[in-house]
A and B are shown apart, each in its own frame.
Chain A
Amino acid sequence: MALTLQVNGKARSVQADAETPLLYALRNDLGLVGSRYGCGSGLCGACMVIVDGKPVQSCDVPVSAVVGKEITTVEALGSNDALHPLQQAFIDEQAAQCGYCASGILMAAKVLLDANPDPDDAAIRSALEGNLCRCGTHGRILRAIKNAAKTMRGI
């Protein structure tokens, strides 16, 4: 069946069953592969996107549940020519090893900074409670988010 999703500011049509997890519609129908499969049960955050301003694990949400809602993926966070301060900070801090967790973490961090422009260490850690990183780049990621927050506050 045809469903219309509002993704990254555009109306996109998807031919998929209502129960199809949002993740597969994004990756396989819309070519937005920055959101990634990690567990299929909302436990790791690799597939995290923003739906109506909230972080959502897209592997665990049927596509029919997000019709009419505003979906944002990492592809809309910034581009190579105009990086979002979070992306720039991740590059500056070299806050990745394999990087598979990075896009989900960037989305969680964006939701945090949109709501709280000056989060302390505990607030950042707790905002990332739903995101796993297996390479152990946590320290760099926490630093990068702190630095991005500073940049966004104009410091």
Chain B
Amino acid sequence: MAQTNEVAARKLPGSLETNRRLDRWLKINSDGTVTVTPGKVEIGQGILTALVQIVAEELDIDVARIRLAPATTAYSPDEGITSGSRSIQDSGLALRHAAAEVRGLLLEEAARKLDVTLEQLTVTDGVVSARSGGSVPYWELATPELLARESSVDVSAKMPAEHVVVGTSLSRVDIPGKVTGKPSYVQDMKLPGMLHGRVSRPPGPRARLKSLNAKEVEQMPGVVAVVRDGSFLGVVAEREEQAIRAERRLARIAEWTQGEDLPNNDPRNLLKLKAETEVISEKGDASVKGTQQLKAEYTKPYIAHASLAPSCAIAHWVSDAKSGAKVRIWTHSQGIYPLRGDMAQVLGLPESDIVITHAEGAGCYGHNAADDVTLDAVLLARAVPGKPVRLQWMREDEFGWEPFSSPMVMHMSAALDDKGSIVNWGHELWSHAHSTRPGGKGGVNLLAAWHLEKPFPAAKPGNPPLPGGGSHRNAIPLYEFPNQKVTNHLIRESPLRTSALRALGGFANAFAIECFMDELAEAAGADPVEFRLRHLKDARAKAVIEKVVKMAKWQPNEKGDGERGRGVSFARYKNLAAYIAVIAEVRVEEEVRVTRLWGAVDVGQAINPDGVLNQIEGGMIQSASMALKERIDFDSVGVTTRTWNEYPILSFVEVPEIEVALINRPEAPPVGAGEGTQGPVAAAIGNAIYNALGARLRDMPFTRDRIVAALST
């Protein structure tokens, strides 16, 4: 009896725990295909390909038999948000379990049909054969009833040693279409009778619409409707360029009140604001005393996701819906269910009246304007019932209004003993929130909702809890110190809206920790690699550092030459996922050039090794770009960074050579790869600049002005 209770208390893996029906995940079709319906979505990270591999592996079918259905609130499991590099854990492990269970059910059916025992059966590409002769394919065995059941706990998936599809670098399923110009994104969808919309935003977040005489815009060629609701302003036209022209006219003639001035754009403003303060890690051993004290302040500015494609959505307000959904929506949102919840509040409709279907957008790297543009499109479509409206934000809208990654300040302090080891560690951080996605409690997290005549308040900005953490992600060091105190000062309200961007607070925290480790190593007269290894116990952590040292042929205590230098860094993402060690080589001329990056990575079991490498390489380049160049600027009214001219990112001419090695551990649980490099790369570059010049840059981005300033002090 006790055993039964124990089984009942055990959880199903990943998102299967909250979406238990097998037929919400998989369908065996009579035409010899298998439909997979994950709730996670493709955002350029290759997740769908990895999920195909997992299902093919457990079902013993060819990958070509698998059809992926787009995530939709009409039938997909609710897997929350595709974020936090959690899709392999959430969706992958759920599908692994579900597919293994379905295989077992099909084998039981086959045994009955062929009148043999289970041990007699083998499966080859979905055909079940008995050793004694006779065979039957899945497609003849499966009935809707067979999968119409909840998953059970006791299912054995394959052992890693048995894998033939998982662990191989299956080519991405979506790339052929993308290199031949096939419709691949929500931006490319075309529905019959579709109109085009654009929105006209206030000059800044505190500005409100004072007056507008829209008559001349209404009379412009192709204009179907000018939509005004409070300070939400938009236009619908027959052709896309007509909508753009009409919006430009709207922008010229609308009069706005400016609202209260925004503060100046210095991350250190955070230090003056009222914060919720929490000590998140504290340990002490008074017997250990330091002889040398160090402290340093690090900062990071507001930065943008800067997706290559401005956000886009299509909404169709069904005019004659006597039954079924009233609003149909296509979006590249990372969370169709939370979005539907917020949308229902704004529209005053039951959730069942809204069907949201995912269609791919460009890479988003976190919470960008995907959700906001969706509500915009719906508000415009409501004005033209029966006609689908496609709305793509302009580049200026995306830079001006996407939720940014919060500025942060980190105050680091430490004491070294007479042997040069760290005996006391302090890390205080100040940050705005890193999570204001739809689905927050007590409000609506969609931009247009705040501008309506009857506005909806925003939900309280959130901070994901530890161990993963939000602003405090990666703030607790993985190094072992006898005394340490880590303090999180969270300032929820922000002059500019802030939300999730790759690694959340982990970007700045790992940057500060890893640069400060180098400062301490120097004070201790130690080699930065040896110094790190000395303070680490985790064998997997040491293994990635040792690997990257070997790859880059790091020499103990190597010194730069006044122009070229190298730096090292390490972090374990969220302190519980991927282990990543990085060495950066820089050359400082007019600007800082990152010439080479080496990375060693341990993500446990790599489902698709090349997919992991692609994610890691991409994360490294993006992080280098952020560390060297990126900052969102604003004046007293609003965001002034509006184009790629004001927000340069690393170009083809500037990108470094990259070499990444994967330490594959098939026996360890698979973890995501997308975000782990953000902090370590920025820190390795900071350390390399110091190594080259002897100047320590503690404020990102590492611009020319800051190098000059650091050299002159």
Which single residue of chain A is at the shortest CB-CB distance from B183? A33
Q: Which residue of B lies closest to A21 (CB)?
A: B241
Given A74-B180, A99-B175: A17 in contact with B620 (beta carbons within 8 A): no
Given that A97-B45, A97-B363 are contacting pairs, would A125 and B180 also be in contact in the complex, using a CB cutoff of 8 Å?
no
Segment with Cβ contacts to A, from B577-585, B644-652, B664-672: B644-652
Q: Is the CB of A102 within 8 A of B618?
A: no
Inter-chain contact B310/A28, CB cutoff 8 Å: no
Q: For B169, B179, B620, which residue has the most chain A Cβ atoms within 10 angstroms?
A: B179
A63 vs chain B, min Cβ distance (A): 9
CB distance from B205 to the nearest CB of A (A): 23
Chain B residues in 8 Å Cβ range of A78: 180
A31 to B309, CA, bound (A): 18
- Bound together, the chains give a CA A139 to CA B650 distance in angstroms of 12
- B residues near A79, Cβ cutoff 8 Å: 180
Residues of A within 8 A of B240 (CB): 24, 27-28
B46: CB under 8 A from chain A? yes
Chain A neighbourhood of B643, CB < 8 A: 39, 41, 43
What A residues does B649 contact at CB under 8 A? 132, 134
Docked Cα-Cα span, A64 to B178, in Å, equals 29
Which residue of the partner chain B has the closest CB to A101? Answer: B308
Chain B residues positioned under 8 Å from A41 (CB to CB): 395, 643
How far does the alpha carbon of A12 sit from the alpha carbon of B183 in the complex, in Å? 20
Q: How far is the CA of A77 from the CA of B176 in the complex (A)?
A: 13
CB of A67 closer than 8 Å to a CB of B: no
Known: A21-B241, A80-B180. A98 touches B363 (CB 8 A): yes
Q: Which residues of A contact B619 (CB under 8 A)?
A: 136
- Which of B43, B180, B653 is packed against the most chain A CB atoms within 10 Å? B180
Contact in complex: B190, A31 (CB < 8 Å) = yes
B-side contacts of A138, CB under 8 Å: 621, 650, 652, 655
Known contacts A28-B240, A99-B174: A137-B180 contact under CB 8 Å: no
Q: Are A140 and B617 in contact (CB-based, < 8 A)?
A: yes
Which residue of A has the minimal Cβ distance to B656? A139
Chain B residues with Cβ under 8 A from A128's Cβ? 651-653
- B621: which A residues are within 8 A, CB to CB? 136, 138-139
Pairwise interchain contact B362-A134, C-beta atoms closer than 8 A: yes
Contact with A along B632-664 (1 / 0, CB 8 A): 000000000001110001111101011000000
For the complex formed, measure the closest distance between the CB of A152 and the CB atoms of chain B, giving whole angstroms: 16
Residues on A with beta carbons closer than 8 Å to the beta carbon of B360: 98
Residues from chain A with Cβ under 8 Å of B175 in the complex = 90-91, 94, 96, 99
A44 and B308 contact, CB distance less than 8 A:
yes
Residue A142 interfacial (CB < 8 Å): yes
CA distance A139 to B308 in the complex (A): 18
Question: Which residues does chain A contribute within 8 Å of B361, judged by CB atoms?
Answer: 98, 100
Complex Cα distance, B239 from A90, in Å, reads: 33
A90 CA to B171 CA, complexed, in Å:
11
CA–CA, A125 and B650, complex, Å: 12
* B241 with A17: CB separation less than 8 A: yes
Which of B572-631 touch A at CB < 8 Å? Answer: 610-611, 614-615, 617-622, 625
A1-58 with Cβ < 8 A to chain B = 16-17, 19-21, 24, 27-28, 31-41, 43-44, 46
Task: Select one of B241, B645, B650 contacting A16, CB under 8 A.
Answer: B241
CA distance A57 to B172 in the complex (A): 28
**Would B362 and A98 count as touching, CB distance under 8 A?**
yes
Q: Mark A57-87, 1 if CB is under 8 A from B, else 0.
A: 0000000000000000111011110010011
For the complex, give the distance between the alpha carbons of A91 and B173 in Å: 10
Q: Give chain A nearest CB distance to B179 CB in angstroms.
A: 5
Does A129 count as interface, using CB distance less than 8 angstroms? Answer: yes
- Does chain A have a CB within 8 A of B443? no
Within 8 Å by CB of A125, from B307, B620, B652, lies B652
CB-CB contacts below 8 Å: B476-534 with A: none
Chain A residue contacts of B644, Cβ below 8 A: 39, 43-44, 132
Selected contact of A34 from candidates B176, B182, B365, B658, CB within 8 Å: B182
The reply to whether A46 and B308 form a contact with Cβ atoms under 8 Å apart is yes
Partner of A91, one of B171, B363, B392, B652: B171
* B44 on interface, CB distance cutoff 8 Å: yes
A101 to B619, CA, bound (A): 17
| CB <8 Å contact, B176 and A139 | no
Task: Decide if B655 touches A139 in the complex (CB within 8 Å).
Answer: yes
Q: Which residues of A contact B362 (CB under 8 A)?
A: 98, 100, 134
The answer to whether the Cβ of A113 comes within 8 Å of any Cβ in the partner chain is: no
Write the chain A residue with the least CB distance to B222. A17
Output the least CB separation between A48 and chain B (Å). Answer: 12
Judge whether B127 is part of the interface by a CB distance below 8 angstroms. Answer: no
Q: Are B618 and A136 neighbours in the complex by a CB distance under 8 Å?
A: yes
Cβ–Cβ < 8 Å partners of B181 in chain A:
32-35, 73-75, 77, 103
Residues of B within 8 A of A86 (CB): 179
Pairwise interchain contact A80-B187, C-beta atoms closer than 8 A: no
The residue from A73, A99, A140 contacting B178, defined by CB atoms under 8 A apart: A99
Closest to A42 in B: B644
CA distance A21 to B658 in the complex (A): 38
Given A98-B43, A132-B651, A137-B618; A38-B309 close (CB under 8 Å): yes
Q: What is the minimal beta-carbon distance from B685 to any residue of chain A, in angstroms?
A: 14
B644: nearest chain-A partner, CB-CB: A43
Closest chain A residue to B44 by CB distance? A98
Give Cα distance in the complex from A11 to B30, angstroms.
45
- Most chain A CB within 10 A, of B221, B362, B617, B625, is at B362
Per the bound structure, the CA–CA distance linking A40 and B429 in Å amounts to 39
Contact of B241 among A20, A75, A137, A140 (CB under 8 A): A20
Q: Does A106 contact B (CB under 8 A)?
A: yes
User: Quick one: closest B residue to A142, CB to CB?
Assistant: B652
**Distance of A34 Cα from B615 Cα, bound (Å):** 24
Across-interface contacts of B650 in A (CB, < 8 A): 138
Taking a contact as CB atoms under 8 Å apart, the answer to whether A87 and B395 are in contact is: no
Given A28-B240, A94-B610, A99-B174, check contact A134 B617 (CB 8 Å): no
With beta carbons under 8 angstroms apart, the residue of A99, A132, A137 that contacts B184 is A99
Complex Cα–Cα for A31 and B619 (A):
34
Partner of B395 from the list A19, A39, A134, A135 (CB cut-off 8 Å) is: A39
Which has the most chain B C-beta neighbours within 10 Å: A20, A36, A87, A126?
A36
- A116-148 interface code vs B (CB 8 A; 1 in, 0 out): 000000001110110111111111111000000
Q: Are B655 and A96 neighbours in the complex by a CB distance under 8 Å?
A: no
B394 within 8 A of A: yes
20 contacts between A and B (CB under 8 A): A17-B241, A19-B241, A44-B644, A80-B180, A90-B179, A91-B176, A94-B610, A97-B44, A98-B43, A98-B44, A98-B363, A100-B185, A100-B361, A101-B308, A106-B179, A134-B365, A134-B622, A135-B363, A136-B625, A138-B650
Extra A-B contacts (20), CB below 8 Å, given A80-B180, A98-B308: A19-B241, A20-B241, A27-B188, A41-B643, A75-B180, A75-B181, A83-B180, A91-B175, A94-B175, A98-B43, A98-B360, A99-B44, A100-B185, A128-B651, A128-B652, A132-B644, A134-B362, A134-B363, A138-B621, A138-B655
List residues of chain B with CB under 8 Å of any chain A CB. 43-46, 169, 171-172, 174-176, 178-185, 187-188, 190, 221, 239-241, 306-310, 360-363, 365, 392, 394-395, 610-611, 614-615, 617-622, 625, 643-645, 649-653, 655, 657-658
